[in-house]
Structure 1
Amino acid sequence: MRELATESSVLTVDTAPPAPVLAPPPADTPATARPRPGSPPRRVLRWALIAVVAIVMLTPLYLLVLNAFKDQQDILASPFGFSGGLTVDHLVQAWSNPRFNIAKGYAITILFVVLVNVFSVFLAGPVAYVIARSTRRRFRVLMLFFLAGTFIPSQVLVIPVVYVLKTLGLMGTIPGYVMFETTLTLPFSIFLYAGYIRTVPTDIDQAAAIDGCGRYRTFWQIVFPLMRPVVATMVILNTFSVWNDFVNPQTILGPSSGLYTVTTGIYAAVGQYQTDYTVVFPTLLLAIAPLLVFFVIMQRHIISGLTAGSTKG
């Protein structure tokens, strides 16, 4: 009996079906293979696109910097080349141009930049806080009203503003110009501030209220310090806007006021019947040099401020 049991178990083992053999997955054919996101063709295409955009953006700056150190004949003969020698005499002459005191233009423009940024922060911040913390429908409508202001070009508003400023006696004055420039910065500032404040937890406001803080004190002492990234971004953008503006100061201030910014001063330095490039290019370089330095130093705050309110918490 034992021998039969042993033989039966052996037969059972020997007659078991073989395990199935898994076939290897079919390899991708060249027709169906796709390049991965990090593949060399895509990297080459991406860097080529970046190079083209960089060349297009840097070519005007290259022309400006190069021709600021060249003579009139060399600029006309070869604006992209280094024919002839380079000299700093034209920059010195542009600095002491009798038709445009660039140091005074710097001072007036910086004054406008500081005033516009200060008024913009103190006006847009509380308004954005009220809109962001309120759940009433009328405040949402008010937000849409401010947002619609971002789509109106400032040049369209110049003529109505001129009539208003003349009526108020502020035409050709610093307060009139600062009021207009501050108004232009409010729509986007309120929109950006409100979006950032919505990411700040409301528990902070409730804790401040328990400690006896009113809404005004809660905003300036607790919420506003948390808005540092977005405030820095708006200060940078407003600085660019005020510094590069030409139509508004030329129209509101006017030549008769004796007040000119960097951009309007450049226009005054250019001759009426001829164009002297040894005056135009050095003056333009002196006008944008501080802004370029400011941008290089503060550029990281632009991206960080714009993306700071994109996530919750």
Structure 2
Amino acid sequence: MVVHAETERGRTAAREPRRPRRPVVRPVMLALLFLAMTVPIYLLVVNSFKTQEDILGSPFSLPLGNLTLEYLGNAVSSPQYNVIGGYGFTLFLVVVVDILCIVMAGPAAYAIARSLKRRTQLLLLYFLAGTFIPGAALIIPVIYVLRSVGLANTVTGLVAHDVASTLPVSIFLFVGFIRTIPPAIDQAAMIDGAGRLRTFWTIIFPLMRPAVVTVLILNSIGIWNDFVSPQILLSPGSGRYTVTTAIYAGISQYSTDLTKVFPNLLLAVAPVIIFFVYMQRHIISGLTVGAVKG
């Protein structure tokens, strides 16, 4: 009886499938990615409240004993590091570029998504080709173009460049989302007497809210963090500084003074980090909503 029971248990254990071992590579890669993203932010935050000696001596330690807000206050009030003043101009660029991008990309994406003609699909590929060109490679040609039309070293020229650089990705995302909207909605609106343009803005555009929010977030973060375009297209003589160019104009003269570098960098990146953390769920939903046609 005992031998029979042990034999049955052995057969049962042999029939049970072995549980697959969890791969170790994925947790390790996630941990390394987490460290790569959090360590620079940690250093930026803790060293913004330290003296020069503490930063050089123990950059990773928390400033529990010598915590001071003096350097952060100097960064806010100093005219040399007018980061707060750059907030207003950068926010102006973000709003203007986002509005113009939506106004141009929306109807263009609607026309491409609702057309079955081959030339229209080639037009989409033409827009996608713009995403593969490095932005730095376009700066010199853009300068010559802006000079030829009289927009060199002007805010209008910078806005035109930013709008053109945001259109390819925006049109691509809008086309993918509009194709998930049944064309029967358009046909019903046309039967009621609505034209193509009115159909888009009154019926289709409100349904595009997830894609529009995603485009606005991605464009806003890109414009806020952009340094090359405003630095080259707007000379220091223009008196216009974005957040990134204001920091460069100030701390480039005193790059060894870390009590000026870290607080100003913190003021520059803090708004965009908070904005991204708060809005990341909208980015994910907007990117995936048009991936599968329902």
- TM-score where L is the length of structure 2: 0.92
2:74, 2:138 → 1: CA distance? 37
Map of 1:291 onto structure 2: 272
- What secondary structure does 1:170 align onto? coil
Kindly report the root-mean-square deviation, in angstroms, between the aligned alpha carbons of the 2 structures: 2.1
Map of 1:162 onto structure 2: 143
Letter in 2 for 1:261: T
Map of 2:19 onto structure 1: 35
Map of 2:34 onto structure 1: 54
Give deviations 1:101-159, integer Å, cap 9, x for gaps: 22210000000000110011000010000000001110011011001111001111000
1:139, 1:292 → 2: CA distance? 38
User: 2:43 touches 2:59 (CA, 8 Å); kept in 1?
Assistant: yes
- Is 1:180 the counterpart of 2:164 in the alignment? no
Letter in 2 for 1:208: A
User: 2:49 touches 2:69 (CA, 8 Å); kept in 1?
Assistant: yes
Letter in 2 for 1:69: F
Letter in 1 for 2:52: Q
2:255, 2:245 → 1: CA distance? 18
1:100, 1:265 → 2: CA distance? 6
Give deviations 1:180-207, integer Å, cap 9, x for gaps: 0010000111111001101100000000
2:155, 2:18 → 1: CA distance? 62
2:53 aligned to 65, 69, 73, which one? Answer: 73
2:201, 2:117 → 1: CA distance? 23
Counterparts of residues 194-273 of structure 1 (less than 5 Å): 194-272=175-253
2:220, 2:191 → 1: CA distance? 39
- Is 1:130 the counterpart of 2:104 in the alignment? no
2:75, 2:208 → 1: CA distance? 41
Map of 1:99 onto structure 2: 80
Map of 1:6 onto structure 2: none
2:154, 2:248 → 1: CA distance? 20
Aligned residues: 286
Map of 1:275 onto structure 2: 256
**Cα distance 1:136–1:71, how it changes in 2: closer, same or farther (>3 A)?**
same
Identical aligned residues as a percent:
54
Residue 275 (structure 1) shift: 1.7
Residue 282 (structure 1) shift: 0.2
Residue 97 (structure 1) shift: 1.5
2:18, 2:192 → 1: CA distance? 61
User: 2:176 touches 2:290 (CA, 8 Å); kept in 1?
Assistant: yes
1:183, 1:28 → 2: CA distance? 65
Letter in 2 for 1:35: R
- What secondary structure does 1:68 align onto? helix
Letter in 2 for 1:258: G
Letter in 2 for 1:163: Y
- What secondary structure does 2:67 align onto? coil
Q: Which of 1 and 2 has greater Rg? A: 1
Map of 2:43 onto structure 1: 63
**Cα distance 1:274–1:62, how it changes in 2: closer, same or farther (>3 A)?**
closer
Instruction: Out of 44-53 and 186-195, give the one that drifted further.
Output: 44-53
Letter in 2 for 1:291: V
Give structure 1 regions of 4+ aligned residues with deviation exceeding 4 angstroms.
23-30, 43-48
Map of 1:150 onto structure 2: 131
- What secondary structure does 2:267 align onto? helix
Give deviations 1:221-264, integer Å, cap 9, x for gaps: 00000000010001000011000000110000121110010000
Map of 1:13 onto structure 2: none
Residue 76 (structure 1) shift: 0.7
Structure 2 residue runs without a partner (length 5+): 1-7
Residue 166 (structure 1) shift: 1.1
2:9, 2:171 → 1: CA distance? 61
Residue 298 (structure 1) shift: 1.1
Residue 82 (structure 1) shift: 3.0
Residue 304 (structure 1) shift: 0.6
1:103, 1:60 → 2: CA distance? 22
Letter in 2 for 1:158: I
